[in-house]
Structures are given as structure tokens and as C-alpha cells.
Amino acid sequence: MNKKIMGVGALGTLGAIAVAAYLFYGQEVVATEVTLYKNPQCGCCESYADYLRENGFTVTVKPTHDLVPMSKKAGIPEDYQGCHLSVIDDYVVSGHVPINTVNKLLSEKPDIKGVTLPGMPTGSPGMGGPKTGSFIIYQISDDQPTMYSTE
């Protein structure tokens, strides 16, 4: 009886170590803290914040009326801006960018400012409606935006 309890205890300790290691290395690879700037009245931006939360991120939403100049300052030309601006691990993620691309950015850590999905295409995360075509996500740097990924 005692041996059995000790056995279970040892397994439990090993399990706890494995979980702790996973959490530690997991956080080293992918950041989980997000600050999301949005216009106060934007509903689809809130839905995108929830989408990030569902995917394990901790999101702080900050309403602002200066989204366009803020996005511009972040290096995103007006034509390429999404409807909100997220800051994750020193990168900007503008608009309704799907999680696969966010995770690609955070794990590959390219030497760019961030990525953007211009506008608010229907069927993208946080937006309702059917998806009518591929989403082109652009990378932001000092040069003109170029394609980063398609979803």
C-alpha cells in the first residue's frame, strides 16, 4: 500500500516536471502577451481579440482614436492597414491575421517590423461571413510591403 502511494507520488512529480519544462520552453518560443489597439466602436476587433485568447494569448484591448497614425508610425502604409493593431513580442500584427501566420512570425522571428492583413476581409478570424478567396498577408519593413504568407 505504502509502496503504491510512493509510486504514484513519484509519477506525479515526474509529470509536474514535464509540465513545467513544457511551459517554460513553450513560452520561450512563442510570446503570449498581446496589446491590441482598436477604435472604441469596433466590434470585429473585439472578436479578433477573443480569437487570440482562444489560441492561448493574453490580450489587453486598448481603445484609441489614433489608429491610422499609430499604424503608419509602426511602418504600415495606409493602403495596407488592417482595422486594428496588435503588438506581440515587439512585432506589429495589423488586422485579422490568421493564427498560423502569427505563430510563424513568432517562431521564425524574421528581421521585419511585423505583418498585416489589409482591411477586413470576410471569412477572416473575427470577421463573419464566407471566405471568398485567399488572404494575402504582407510583411512590414522599411521597404514597400511584400507578401509574407497566404492563408
Question: Using CA atoms, how far apart are residues 121 and 103, in angstroms rounded to an integer?
Answer: 20
> Could you tell me the maximum CA-CA distance found in the chain, to the nearest angstrom?
70
- Which residues are bridge partners to 35 per DSSP? 60, 87
- What's the one-letter identity of residue 31? A
If DSSP codes are grouped into helix, strand and coil, which group holds residue 115? strand
Counting residues that bind Cu ion (by CB under 5 A) gives 3
Q: Does 97 bind Cu ion (CB under 5 A)?
A: no
Q: Does 83 bind Cu ion (CB under 5 A)?
A: yes
**How far apart are CB 36 and Cu ion at their closest, in Å?**
11
If DSSP codes are grouped into helix, strand and coil, which group holds residue 62? strand
**How far apart are CB 148 and Cu ion at their closest, in Å?**
19
**How far apart are CB 52 and Cu ion at their closest, in Å?**
13
27 vs 66, beta carbon nearer Cu ion: 66
Q: Does 120 bind Cu ion (CB under 5 A)?
A: yes
DSSP E strand boundaries for the chain: 33-38, 58-63, 84-88, 91-94, 114-116, 136-140, 146-150
Per-residue x/- track, 42-81, Cu ion (CB under 5 A) = --x-------------------------------------
**Candidates 1-9, 23-31, 108-116, 119-127; binding stretch for Cu ion (CB under 5 A):** 119-127
Residues that bind Cu ion (CB under 5 A): 44, 83, 120
